[in-house]
């Protein structure tokens, strides 16, 4: 068991699939199904559909709930909501089964009541994990980093801290305080153990809580993300090199190496410790090692992606992502609009009124739905989405402000305008996603 370390800053959810980098303005053209005229990509979202995570292409995160739920709300100490996820009940049942079986050797007189005692131990142990996470939370609040929530889940707890520490030694202390509290709890249970007999119910409970807290502390001090020890390693490398990204890379790769070591080493250590283990015990150890290794590996990878995103986000400029656009009136035939776009090497079509003012954006998905032979007879007006206020974005928008604007008004296309209102081009959600993916994957 362990308490999984805190999550990083939420500048944006890291993209999760491959994609090519977005082209410079004017480099992308619409092409026909036969190579002459409409979209040069397939499967894009329509403009009137909100973005969603399909599992094949990443996107900017949706508007965040002011209070994201994550299970059963248990309370709000210091104003931070604490949730118990459904997965906690799975691990509580597993602890009850395993610890209850071990109690039969130590306190055989308990009979079936040993499972009730084992469940009480599971609850008390997660109470210790909660104290571990509250230690992170209090330091984060002291540094004004913000904490969204605490979750108690399958393999421990998570404190969702909203912002990164600005200095490496704050990062170090923020990570170290959790294992430190677990060590202190282990010492408290050890002192309490001196006042009782080991072979009694209180003695067994106190021994279990002492050992489990020491294990939580030791495991979290291992130097690899997303564990607290990985955060500490990141802080040290950051302090030495002066580059937080260098620290993140080092700690993330250490976390991946740790995941492999857990996957291979944990079953081997368990087998060597008890030669007469049953097949069921061996299988349980292998499954737990695989799940734990996956959590560590994914946490390390996610931390690395978040760090890359934070590093490149200021360079994400809407002006660099906009496609050249042609302007047509609503009654222009689709075939004619695509011909003009092809000649101008444009990647979008903007509908304007009689005064030349933009009023709508032609949706690529709607264009693709029109058969080739029908395009000369279909006007672009019905294929366009009216320009709502949130679909008109300034060309100088960049970084987190850009992602915030996209989250506020989910769409497939956005009109990019200069400060004086002139049309600069059209930016598509797909191009923004691709640029983020390319940056996060290091392409």
- Residue 12 gets the label, from left (phi > 0), alpha (psi -120 to 50) or beta, of left
Burial class, 428, CB count within 10 angstroms (exposed 0-12 / middle 13-18 / buried 19+):
buried
| Per-residue confidence (pLDDT) for residue 260, from 0 to 100 | 93
Per-residue confidence at 365, pLDDT binned at 50, 70, 90? Answer: confident
Residue 282 DSSP SS3: helix
Structure tokens at 103: 């109690």
| Per-residue confidence (pLDDT) for residue 134, from 0 to 100 | 95
Cα gap 333→429, rounded to integer Å: 25
* 250, 233 Cβ separation under 8 angstroms: yes
- Residue 350 gets the label, from left (phi > 0), alpha (psi -120 to 50) or beta, of beta
Cα gap 300→257, rounded to integer Å: 10
Which among 379, 352, 383 has a CA at the least distance from the CA of 365?
383
Cα gap 410→412, rounded to integer Å: 7
Residue 17 DSSP SS3: coil
* 51, 45 Cβ separation under 8 angstroms: yes
pLDDT at 281 over 90: no
Which has more pLDDT, 393 or 62?
Answer: 393
Model pLDDT for residues 293-330, shown as the tens digit of each residue? 998 999 888 888 888 887 778 888 889 989 999 999 99
pLDDT at 171 over 80: yes
Alpha helices in 166-243, H assignment, sequence order? 168-193, 201-220, 228-241
Cα gap 404→32, rounded to integer Å: 33
Structure tokens at 16: 């999760």
Model pLDDT for residues 183-235, shown as the tens digit of each residue? 999 999 999 999 988 888 888 899 999 999 999 999 999 999 999 999 999 99
Q: In sequence order, what are the residues at sequence separation of 6 or more whose Cβ sits closer than 8 angstroms to the Cβ of residue 275?
A: none
Mean confidence (pLDDT) of the chain: 80
Structure tokens at 423: 């049309």
* 15, 51 Cβ separation under 8 angstroms: no
pLDDT at 60 over 70: no
Which among 339, 328, 336 has a CA at the least distance from the CA of 362?
328
Which among 431, 443, 437, 436 has a CA at the least distance from the CA of 323?
431
* Residue listed under structure tokens 């950051």: 238
Per-residue confidence at 47, pLDDT binned at 50, 70, 90? Answer: very low
Cα gap 221→181, rounded to integer Å: 12
Q: Any idea which of 131-140, 270-279, 369-378 has the lowest mean pLDDT?
A: 270-279
Cα gap 319→427, rounded to integer Å: 9
Percentage of the residues of the chain whose pLDDT score is greater than 90 = 42
Paired with 414 in beta bridges are: 427
Structure tokens at 267: 């079953």
The helix (H) or strand (E) run that includes residue 13 is none
* 39, 342 Cβ separation under 8 angstroms: no
Q: In sequence order, what are the residues at sequence separation of 6 or more whose Cβ sits closer than 8 angstroms to the Cβ of residue 292?
A: 2, 155, 262, 266
pLDDT at 350 over 60: yes
Residues 425, 430, 434, CA angle at the centre, nearest 5°?
110
Cα gap 115→262, rounded to integer Å: 29
Percentage of the residues of the chain whose pLDDT score is greater than 70 = 82
Instruction: Give the up-direction half-sphere exposure of residue 120: CA atoms within 13 A in the CB hemisphere.
Output: 11
Per-residue confidence at 15, pLDDT binned at 50, 70, 90? Answer: very low
Cα gap 328→101, rounded to integer Å: 76
pLDDT at 9 over 50: no
Cα gap 254→240, rounded to integer Å: 17
Residue 415 DSSP SS3: strand
Model pLDDT for residues 399-418, shown as the tens digit of each residue? 888 888 888 888 889 999 99
Q: What is the arithmetic mean of pLDDT over 79-99?
A: 88
| Per-residue confidence (pLDDT) for residue 438, from 0 to 100 | 79
Q: Centre a 10 Å sphere on the Cβ of residue 344 and count the other Cβ atoms it contains.
A: 14
Q: In sequence order, what are the residues at sequence separation of 6 or more whose Cβ sits closer than 8 angstroms to the Cβ of residue 242?
A: none
Burial class, 12, CB count within 10 angstroms (exposed 0-12 / middle 13-18 / buried 19+):
buried
| Per-residue confidence (pLDDT) for residue 442, from 0 to 100 | 62
| Per-residue confidence (pLDDT) for residue 6, from 0 to 100 | 42
């Amino acid at each position: 068991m362990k308490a999984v370390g805190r999550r990083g800053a939420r500048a944006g959810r890291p993209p999760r699939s491959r994609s090519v980098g977005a082209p410079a303005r004017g480099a992308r053209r619409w092409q026909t199904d036969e190579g002459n005229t409409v979209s040069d990509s397939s499967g894009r979202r329509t403009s009137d559909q909100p973005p969603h995570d399909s599992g094949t292409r990443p996107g900017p995160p949706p508007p965040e709930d002011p209070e994201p739920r994550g299970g059963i709300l248990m309370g709000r100490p210091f104003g931070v909501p604490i949730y118990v996820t459904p997965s906690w009940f799975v691990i509580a049942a597993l602890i009850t089964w395993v610890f209850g079986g071990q109690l039969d050797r130590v306190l055989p007189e308990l009979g079936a009541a040993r499972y009730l005692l084992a469940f009480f131990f599971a609850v008390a142990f997660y109470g210790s994990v909660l104290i571990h996470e509250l230690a992170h939370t209090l330091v984060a609040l002291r540094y004004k980093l913000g904490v969204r929530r605490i979750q108690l889940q399958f393999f421990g707890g998570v404190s969702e801290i909203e912002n990164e520490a600005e200095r490496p030694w704050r990062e170090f202390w923020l990570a170290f305080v959790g294992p430190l509290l677990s060590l202190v709890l282990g010492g408290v249970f050890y002192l309490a153990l001196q006042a009782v007999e080991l072979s009694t119910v209180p003695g067994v409970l106190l021994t279990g809580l002492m050992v489990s807290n020491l294990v939580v502390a030791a495991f979290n001090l291992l130097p690899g993300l997303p564990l607290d020890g990985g955060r500490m390693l990141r802080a040290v490398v950051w302090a030495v090199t002066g580059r937080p990204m260098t620290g993140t890379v080092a700690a993330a790769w250490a976390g991946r190496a740790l995941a492999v070591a857990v996957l291979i080493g944990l079953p081997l250590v368990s087998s060597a410790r008890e030669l007469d283990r049953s097949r069921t015990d061996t299988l349980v150890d292998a499954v737990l090692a695989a799940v734990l290794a996956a959590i560590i590996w994914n946490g390390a990878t996610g931390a690395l992606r978040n760090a890359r995103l934070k590093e490149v986000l200021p360079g994400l400029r809407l002006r660099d992502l906009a496609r050249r656009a042609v302007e047509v009136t609503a009654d222009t035939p689709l075939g004619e609009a695509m011909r003009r776009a092809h000649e101008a090497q444009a990647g979008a079509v903007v509908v304007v009124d009689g005064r030349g003012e933009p009023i709508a954006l032609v949706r690529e998905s709607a264009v693709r739905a029109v058969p080739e032979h029908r395009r000369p007879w279909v006007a672009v007006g019905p294929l366009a989405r009216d320009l709502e206020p949130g679909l008109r974005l300034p060309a100088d928008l960049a970084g987190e402000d850009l992602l915030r604007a996209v989250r506020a008004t989910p769409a497939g296309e956005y009109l990019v305008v200069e400060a004086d209102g002139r049309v600069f081009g059209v930016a598509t959600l797909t191009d923004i996603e691709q640029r983020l993916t390319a940056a996060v994957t290091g392409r």
